[in-house]
């Protein structure tokens, strides 16, 4: 937004306002899966990789069908798996994606692969019979992999990194990541890398049988599944559009080089430490260094220090005043100063509409209405809050606890997710 427009609506640079905040729009219950004609959330390229808290494609599809028009550009500063890009390509819109997780770039490349004929058995034989080795730059490597499995895993990834045909390497990426994690001590499905009796039992079961044949079957099956999903995705008719994709970047400080028409995003939900910590095993296998993982982990909420930002929301002020525990108040502040500060900065270059998809995550058992706080804050910056669509969560990709092991408090999982719809005056 230009300076004269900011003066017209009486704003300060950091988000303060000199006129009364405008009203919020209404909440409206919906089921996004019923609003658009899309196959399941796992069809095609929508779910090639198991990413925590993934944006379902139906939300993005609804936004593009109802609010976008030819020639518009789409932007997601917290892109995660990259669903906004996958769906934007189906509708023929240029897009820009950012995320702290470097996986975004390779997942984006894989989702855009055209199907090709591959001899699955022959490719898997080459993986297993490889004599080239690759060991991740990870000091805890031996802790996470049983010594029996390590030689085969290192040879498999040695073959992967030696592949000259980029398309074949991309095809193999997700199947090999999934199979390698299955042969680790990780309790698959938890929020971050962790051992458990369940994961140890899985490894014991592998060791008691023909684990090499099991490895082969898993890899063949997963490779065949990726090929099938890519064929499915082509049936949806993706378009040739311009994509700008940045993985491993800090959305709290990065700036857009060009204005974008529509922002569609699902930012982290309050405490988002699972993203890098859940993905780091895969990132190590892909060749990322331990120093890079430490740097990225330090940038996650709530571990990073964030400069104070004015959040113009009565709900924010009221809920902050109710938090008596200093540590939790710090988590609360860092989240809203980080994500709210990013919205404050980035909204200046969004010319048409903003769509923010969030759940009401809990802080010490108390649900925090992220949607209301962001809506109130952005209304104070001159945006019109049209409405918020409230969707019931049908399924989860992350492990669910009855009692949170970190806090010993009964876990209160988000039951609904909210799409905040804002437009320029």
pLDDT at 270: 81
Residue 11's pLDDT band (boundaries 50, 70, 90)?
Answer: very low
Residue 157's pLDDT band (boundaries 50, 70, 90)?
Answer: very high
Q: What is the CATH number of the domain that holds 253?
A: 3.40.50.150
Residues 310 and 362 grouped into a single domain: yes
The pLDDT tens digits for 174-229 are: 999 999 999 999 998 787 889 999 999 999 999 999 999 999 999 999 999 999 99
Residues 372 and 410 grouped into a single domain: yes
Report the b/e string of 91-121 with b at 16+ CB within 10 A.
Answer: bebbbbbbbbbbbbbbbbbbbbbeeeebebe
Higher pLDDT, 178 or 11: 178
Q: Is the pLDDT of residue 66 over 80?
A: yes
Residue 12's pLDDT band (boundaries 50, 70, 90)?
Answer: very low
Residues 266 and 357 grouped into a single domain: yes
- What's the domain count of the chain? 2
| Tokens coding 270 | 């309050």
Give the residue from 158, 157, 154 showing the smallest Cα distance to 142: 154
Residues 63 and 42 grouped into a single domain: yes
Q: From the centroid of its chain, how far is CA 200?
A: 28
Give the residue from 346, 341, 424, 352 showing the smallest Cα distance to 385: 424
Question: Which range has the worst mean pLDDT, 113-127, 145-159, 210-224, 395-409?
Answer: 395-409
d(CA 130, CA 155): 5
What is the rounded average pLDDT of the residues 330-352?
96
Residues 263 and 400 grouped into a single domain: yes
> Under a CB-based contact definition with an 8 Å cutoff, are residues 74 and 96 in contact?
yes
Report the mean per-residue pLDDT for the chain: 89
Residues 105 and 126 grouped into a single domain: no
User: DSSP secondary-structure letter at 17?
Assistant: B
Q: Which of 202, 233, 264 is the last residue of a domain?
A: 233
What is the rounded average pLDDT of the residues 43-59?
89
d(CA 196, CA 186): 8
| Tokens coding 195 | 């051992």
pLDDT at 4: 41
Pairing of strands 362-363, 243-247: unpaired
Residue 278's pLDDT band (boundaries 50, 70, 90)?
Answer: confident
Residue 20's pLDDT band (boundaries 50, 70, 90)?
Answer: very low
Q: From the centroid of its chain, how far is CA 183?
A: 24
Residues 314 and 346 grouped into a single domain: yes
Which parts of 164-263 fold into alpha helices (H)?
166-182, 197-207, 211-235
pLDDT at 18: 38
Q: Which of 211, 233, 255 is the last residue of a domain?
A: 233
Residues 130 and 226 grouped into a single domain: yes
Q: Is the pLDDT of residue 54 over 90?
A: no
> Under a CB-based contact definition with an 8 Å cutoff, are residues 320 and 332 in contact?
yes
| Tokens coding 225 | 């599944």
Q: What is the pTM of this model?
A: 0.89
Q: Which of 173, 200, 233 is the last residue of a domain?
A: 233
Provide the phi-psi class of 290: left if phi over 0, else alpha when psi is between -120 and 50, else beta: alpha
DSSP β-bridge partners for residue 11 = 17
Q: Is the pLDDT of residue 21 over 70?
A: no
Residues 315 and 211 grouped into a single domain: no
* Helix (H) / strand (E) containing 402: none
Q: Is the pLDDT of residue 15 over 80?
A: no
**Residue 348 CB-density burial (10 A; 0-12 exposed, 13-18 middle, 19+ buried):** middle
Q: Is the pLDDT of residue 134 over 80?
A: yes
Q: Is the pLDDT of residue 3 over 90?
A: no
Residues 309 and 416 grouped into a single domain: yes
Domain range for 219 is 120-233
Residues 11 and 104 grouped into a single domain: yes
What is the rounded average pLDDT of the residues 70-78?
98
pLDDT at 185: 97
The pLDDT tens digits for 240-274 are: 999 999 999 999 999 999 999 999 999 988 875 55
Residues 167 and 183 grouped into a single domain: yes
User: Cis bond leading into 302, ω under 30°?
Assistant: yes
Q: Is the pLDDT of residue 1 over 60?
A: no
């Amino acid at each position: 937004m230009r300076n004269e427009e900011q003066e017209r609506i009486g704003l300060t640079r950091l988000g303060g306002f000199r006129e009364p905040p405008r009203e919020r729009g209404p909440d409206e219950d919906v089921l996004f899966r019923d609003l658009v004609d899309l196959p399941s959330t796992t069809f095609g390229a929508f779910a090639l990789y198991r990413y925590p808290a993934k944006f379902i494609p139906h939300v993005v599809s609804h936004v593009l069908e109802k609010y976008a028009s030819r020639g518009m550009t789409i932007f997601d500063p917290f892109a995660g798996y990259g669903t906004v890009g996958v769906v934007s390509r189906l509708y023929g819109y240029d897009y820009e994606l950012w995320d702290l997780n470097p996986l975004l770039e390779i997942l984006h490349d894989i989702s855009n692969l055209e199907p090709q004929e591959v001899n699955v058995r022959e490719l898997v034989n080459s993986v297993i019979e490889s004599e080239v080795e690759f060991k991740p730059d990870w000091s805890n490597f031996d802790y996470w992999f049983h010594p029996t499995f390590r030689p085969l895993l290192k040879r498999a990834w040695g073959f992967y990194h030696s592949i000259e045909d980029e398309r074949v390497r991309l095809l193999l990426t997700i199947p090999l990541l999934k199979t390698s994690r299955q042969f680790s001590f990780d309790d698959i499905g938890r929020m971050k890398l962790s051992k458990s009796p369940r994961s140890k039992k899985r490894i014991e079961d592998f060791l008691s049988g023909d684990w090499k044949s099991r490895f082969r079957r898993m890899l063949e099956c997963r490779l065949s599944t990726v090929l099938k999903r890519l064929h499915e995705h082509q049936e949806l008719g993706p378009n040739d559009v311009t994509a700008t994709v940045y993985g491993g970047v800090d959305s709290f400080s990065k700036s857009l080089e060009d204005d974008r028409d529509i922002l569609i995003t699902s930012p982290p939900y309050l405490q988002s430490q699972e993203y890098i910590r859940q993905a780091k095993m895969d990132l190590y296998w892909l060749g990322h260094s331990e120093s890079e993982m430490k740097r990225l982990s330090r940038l996650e909420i709530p571990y990073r220090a964030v400069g104070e930002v004015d959040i113009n929301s009565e709900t924010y002020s009221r809920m902050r005043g109710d938090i008596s525990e200093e540590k939790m108040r710090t988590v609360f502040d860092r989240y809203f100063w980080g994500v709210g500060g990013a919205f404050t900065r980035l909204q200046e270059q969004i010319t048409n509409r903003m769509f923010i998809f969030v759940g009401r995550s809990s802080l010490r058992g108390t649900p925090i209405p992220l949607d209301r706080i962001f809506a109130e804050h952005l209304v104070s910056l001159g945006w019109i809050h049209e409405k918020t669509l409230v969707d019931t969560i049908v399924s989860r990709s992350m492990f669910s606890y009855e009692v949170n092991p970190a806090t010993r408090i009964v876990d209160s999982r988000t039951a609904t997710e909210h799409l905040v719809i804002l437009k320029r005056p």
